[in-house]
């Protein structure tokens, strides 16, 4: 049975997948700062830092909305193929199962969006 309305669902699912994307960005940033896979790492590190800052800010706003809506997202079960999350809203619980490759795809999509957003905040180069 579905207990979350569309608005609550959008907030909770965005929070869930944005949190996963943020973990991936932090891991990538750590690995990139520990090694030198590129000749010049700084532009990639700066891009990841901007992405991390944007994701952190968005998640902060989502967390505030979730508090106002009395909404929580909890990990329920995990196996090789599926991960289950429990969405709790105003005392009602709703369980959703996700195929792990679908989770990966959603997180990759959010990372691409964060990249585009970080790229837009960078000023273009002007040549004279």
Most confident of 32-36, 45-49, 107-111, 123-127: 107-111
| For residues 43-50, average pLDDT | 92
Looking at residue 37, its pLDDT comes to: 78
In whole angstroms, give the CA distance from residue 35 to residue 24. Answer: 16
Structure confidence at residue 109 (pLDDT): 97
Give pLDDT tens digits for 20-40: 999 999 999 999 888 887 788
Say how far apart CA 77 and CA 83 lie, in whole Å: 6
pLDDT at 33: 84
- Rounded CA-CA distance 105/111 in Å is 10
Q: What is the DSSP string of 67-124?
A: HHHTEEEEEEEE-SSEEEEEEEETTEEEEEEEEHHHHHHHHHHHHHHHHHHHHHTSPP
Facing residues of 90 across strands? none
Whether residue 1 is predicted with pLDDT greater than 70 in this model: the reply is no
Neighbours of 23 (CB within 10 A): 12
Q: Is the pLDDT of residue 52 over 70?
A: yes
Residue 91's pLDDT band (cuts 50, 70, 90): confident
């Amino acid at each position: 049975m579905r207990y979350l309305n569309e608005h609550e669902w959008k907030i909770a699912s965005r929070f869930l997948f944005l949190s996963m994307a943020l973990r991936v960005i932090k891991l990538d940033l750590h690995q990139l700062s520990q090694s030198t896979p590129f000749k010049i790492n700084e532009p990639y590190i700066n891009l990841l830092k901007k992405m991390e800052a944007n994701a952190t800010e968005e998640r902060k706003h989502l967390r505030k909305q979730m508090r106002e809506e009395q909404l929580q997202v909890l990990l329920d079960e995990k196996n090789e193929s599926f991960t289950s999350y429990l969405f709790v809203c105003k005392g009602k619980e709703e369980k959703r199962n996700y195929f792990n490759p679908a989770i990966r795809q959603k997180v990759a999509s959010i990372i691409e969006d964060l990249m585009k957003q970080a790229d837009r905040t960078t000023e273009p180069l002007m040549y004279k």
